[in-house]
Amino acid sequence: MLKETLHLKPKVNSLGFLLAYILFWQSNFVFADDSIWYKNSDPLKTEALMPPAIPDGYLESTACIASSYDKALTIADVAEAALCNNPQTREAYASARVQAAQVGIAKSAYLPSVNDNVSGNLNVAFPEQSSRNNPYSNLSNNIVASYLLYDFGNRDANLENAQQLLQAASATQSSIVQNVLLSAIQAYYQVQASIAALDAARESERASEESYKAAEARYKAGVSTPADKLQAQTLLAQNTLTRITAEGALKTAYGTLANVMGLVANQALKLAANNPIQPLQNLDQDINSLIDVARIRRPDLIASEAQLKAAQANIEANRSAAKPTVSVAVSNNLQDGSNLSLSNNSSFGVTVSIPIFSGYGPTYKIRAAEANAEVIAAQRDQLSLQISLDVWRAYQSLRTANESIRAAAVLVSSAEESSRVALGRYKAGVGNILDSINAQSALASALQQQIQANLNWNIARATLAQSIGELDNAMIHSLPESKP
């Protein structure tokens, strides 16, 4: 059928025939690089090598179904929303897909390549040259199939490089997921701390207003001086300013939380009711074992190790690229000449390509690859040191915060009793306004210290988990819904 089609040579429009010939091939054959395949097919199964959009262990199977933010959100709800909606997680997944495609490119070097070259020309005869020109066309079709038999390991090294970079991309994705989780936890507990700070500010404002009213009543009764009233009024104004500042800080914290969750900053959010923090009773862990676990579990260190292996494979790829290659090729050439002749020739051959001199380019490519591997090795070692410092700092911060919670609870209890007694003595006329003001200021300070201690404890616990590489969905659900 093909031969007959080629021999039906039009006498008038050979370019139209060439176009019809190309359309014939396009409509009767499916090419491996066709756009439909590009969009819908994965013949080398590279997608199977990729991690899921959110790595296992971070989300429930139905977590990314459209959520309603009208309900009161728990820390788990916030974490799931951040993983589902935050652009950083989508970017990390897309980067992994890019590297998976690079693995496919490396695998394609093991397959043969087939090319079809079609050419044609139309001879136009002018009247004065009609005896020397044929007004018909020439058409040729040349199909070449080639396969690389041996390349001294260049393909193997390129594939190893691509596979290691894919592993690095997957580990980087896990690292970004943990960073997003940590940011969500920090933002969540910052909102909780801001809510607690606003409640404390309102309570301080209420107490100072009560002191002011008591001072004003005593002044009107003629049993206190104007200084008492002014001092009480000054404290009330200061506490009012503190309350206004706390309201602004809470709005800012809500906006930050919405942003981390992948929502617009003005998204209305509400957090669930909370329970008081219970300090950890047994926090004496072996810091050496924690650092050892971190060096095994930390995804950024895993990514760095994979990048080093990829760099080492790249050295081998550059070395083998400077060596000979052996290829085999099969071709078929079909020509339909202007003199109505038809020729069909086939050939088979083996090609050995031996690079002799390339201006020292391969030498310096190898040197560059070796130096790049040294750079990545140094970065890996620096990251390993940084991880030990991260674990040490997070562990010490958690220990400090754990003790601070106990101390802050005692401080608040004492300050509350002192403030109550001082105000009662002043109302009874046996105390002075300075004692009451000082006691209220001490209570306000104690409440802020307790709020900060709880915030530090929550963040330190999550930071320690992240520094070890264990910040996942199970750890999120173990966090308390805490509020002082």
**Is residue 128 a part of any domain in this protein?**
no
Highest average pLDDT, of 91-95, 131-135, 384-388, comes from 384-388
The pLDDT, as a whole number, for residue 216 is: 86
3-class secondary structure, 143? strand
Q: Residue 341: is its pLDDT beyond 70? A: no
CA 302/CA 233 separation, integer angstroms: 61
**Is residue 315 a part of any domain in this protein?**
yes
Band (pLDDT 50/70/90 cuts) for residue 161 is: very high
The pLDDT, as a whole number, for residue 433 is: 81
Q: Residue 422: is its pLDDT beyond 80? A: yes
The pLDDT, as a whole number, for residue 171 is: 93
**Is residue 188 a part of any domain in this protein?**
yes
- Pick the range with the lowest mean pLDDT from 122-131, 391-400, 450-459: 122-131
State the DSSP string of 321-349.
HTS-EEEEEEEEEEEE-TTS-EEEEEEEE
pLDDT digits (tens, 9 = 90+) for 71-105: 889 888 898 889 888 899 889 999 999 999 999 99
The pLDDT, as a whole number, for residue 138 is: 74
The pLDDT, as a whole number, for residue 477 is: 67
Query: Quick one: which H or E segment has residue 350?
Result: strand 342-353
State the DSSP string of 352-394.
EE-----TTHHHHHHHHHHHHHHHHHHHHHHHHHHHHHHHHHH
- Name which of 41, 20, 32 is nearest 120 in CA terms: 20
Residues 6+ apart with CB under 8 A from 255: 265, 266
Q: Residue 257: is its pLDDT beyond 90? A: yes
Task: Give the mean pLDDT of the chain.
Answer: 83
**Is residue 331 a part of any domain in this protein?**
no
CA trace torsion 151, 154, 160, 161 (10° rounding): -160
CA 172/CA 175 separation, integer angstroms: 5
The pLDDT, as a whole number, for residue 475 is: 72
pLDDT digits (tens, 9 = 90+) for 22-73: 444 444 444 555 444 455 578 888 888 888 777 766 666 556 766 678 888 9
Give me the mean pLDDT over the 426-451 stretch. 84
CA-based max dimension of the chain: 134
CA 314/CA 317 separation, integer angstroms: 5
**Is residue 207 a part of any domain in this protein?**
yes
- Pick the range with the lowest mean pLDDT from 33-47, 109-123, 321-335, 404-418: 33-47
The pLDDT, as a whole number, for residue 251 is: 96
The pLDDT > 90 percentage for the chain reads: 46
Residue 8 token pair: 């039906």
**Is residue 60 a part of any domain in this protein?**
yes
Give me the mean pLDDT over the 131-152 stretch. 77
Give me the mean pLDDT over the 343-363 stretch. 90
State the DSSP string of 197-231.
HHHHHHHHHHHHHHHHHHHHHHHHTTSS-HHHHHH
CA 258 to mean position of chain CA atoms? 17
The verdict on pTM exceeding 0.85 is no
- Name which of 287, 318, 328 is nearest 467 in CA terms: 287
The pLDDT, as a whole number, for residue 440 is: 86
- Locus of tokens 């506490």: 239
pLDDT digits (tens, 9 = 90+) for 441-483: 888 889 999 999 989 998 999 999 999 998 877 777 666 654 4
Q: Are 177 and 54 in contact (CB under 8 A)?
A: yes
**Is residue 371 a part of any domain in this protein?**
yes
CA 285/CA 307 separation, integer angstroms: 32
Give me the mean pLDDT over the 321-343 stretch. 82
The pLDDT, as a whole number, for residue 173 is: 92
**Is residue 26 a part of any domain in this protein?**
no
- Pick the range with the lowest mean pLDDT from 159-168, 262-271, 357-366, 418-427: 418-427
Helix axes 75-85, 154-220, angle to 10 degrees: 140
Say how many domains are in the chain: 1
Query: Quick one: which H or E segment has residue 146?
Result: strand 137-150
pLDDT digits (tens, 9 = 90+) for 235-250: 899 999 999 999 999 9
Residue 76 token pair: 């788990």
Q: Residue 181: is its pLDDT beyond 70? A: yes
The CATH number linked to 398 is 1.20.1600.10
CA 304/CA 306 separation, integer angstroms: 5
Domain range for 88 is 42-111+153-322+361-478
CA 202 to mean position of chain CA atoms? 40
